[in-house]
Amino acid sequence: MIIFGTRGVKSTLKEGTFHCPQCATQQNYKHKKVTKFFTLYFIPIIPLERLGDFVECQSCRGTFIAKVLDYQKQPSADQFLSEYEKAMKHSMVLMMLADGEIDENEMLTVQKIINKFGHNDVTLDELEEYVEEVKHRNEDITTYLKKVGPALNEHGKEIVIKCALSVAAADGNIDPEEIKMIEKMARIMEVSSTHLKGIIMEVTQPATQTFSQN
Ligand SMILES: [Zn+2]
């Protein structure tokens, strides 16, 4: 049997120092590109197309669009809030809303994740306010991710999915409806089903249940 497929391969275009919006200090960065390769027996053989590029902070591992390199002065705190940070917050809230009711546990999980990943800590009250705002906008997760998906790099997409999984698992088990929704999210963001399986494994395996950013 011949096993073939495609895979995104990362390579570094450039390295240097930049003002990291997340660390809020000068840090080393790597400007990486992701190229889609045709794989044979899981080995990348032929480069097919460039999927995108991103700038990765070597300290916090936050990832940003390349434009961040143009910006060297003091940025305002929100200006460069990385896209994934916004996307993960929004997706988690949509995930919470998916089953109709929000329980305390879910709220605490979401708060914990936001405060772990982001640089804009939220209180439970602020989170409740944000939930109301999202409810009010009444936007389907598909519509939302279609808008932000293209701005996310591989790392960002992975984090969005991991966060959604953690919210789904907050009530003790991930039910089929929730899996369906996560599969839908993955499809919209063009995360392959194999990659998604890997992410699910990583999150649900008891040994790695604690949340890791990498
Ligand atoms: Zn950083």
pLDDT the model gives residue 83: 66
Mean pLDDT, residues 126-137 taken together? 87
What is the whole-number distance in angstroms between the Cα of residue 24 and the centre of ligand 1? 7
pLDDT digits 0-9 by tens, 47-102: 898 888 999 999 999 999 988 888 655 444 444 456 667 777 888 888 888 767 78
Mean pLDDT, residues 200-212 taken together? 64
pLDDT the model gives residue 75: 46
Cα(179)–Cα(199) distance, rounded to whole angstroms? 12
Q: What three-state secondary structure class fits 49?
A: strand
* For residue 144, pLDDT beyond 70: yes
Are β-strands 4-20 and 63-64 bridged in parallel, bridged antiparallel, or unpaired?
Answer: unpaired
What is the whole-number distance in angstroms between the Cα of residue 72 and the centre of ligand 1? 14
What is the whole-number distance in angstroms between the Cα of residue 174 and the centre of ligand 1? 32
Residue given tokens 């899981």 in the structure block: 42
Spatial neighbors of 140 by CB under 8 A, at least 6 apart, are: none
Q: What three-state secondary structure class fits 34?
A: strand
Residue range(s) of every CATH 1.10.3680.10 domain in the chain: 83-206
What is the whole-number distance in angstroms between the Cα of residue 81 and the centre of ligand 1? 11
Half-sphere exposure of 188 (CA within 13 A, CB side): 21
State the CATH architecture for 83-206. Answer: Orthogonal Bundle (1.10)
pLDDT the model gives residue 143: 80
Mean pLDDT, the chain, as a whole number? 82
Bigger pLDDT: 162 vs 101: 162
What is the whole-number distance in angstroms between the Cα of residue 29 and the centre of ligand 1? 8
What is the whole-number distance in angstroms between the Cα of residue 152 and the centre of ligand 1? 17
Q: What three-state secondary structure class fits 86?
A: helix
Q: Which residues surround ligand 1, an ion (CB under 5 A)?
A: 20, 22-23, 27, 57, 59-60, 62
pTM: 0.55
What is the whole-number distance in angstroms between the Cα of residue 27 and the centre of ligand 1? 6
pLDDT the model gives residue 212: 47
What is the whole-number distance in angstroms between the Cα of residue 105 and the centre of ligand 1? 30
State the DSSP string of 97-157: HHTS---HHHHHHHHHHHHHH-SS---HHHHHHHHHHHHHHT--HHHHHHHHGGG--HHHH
* For residue 180, pLDDT beyond 70: yes
Retrieve residue 95's tokens: 């995930």
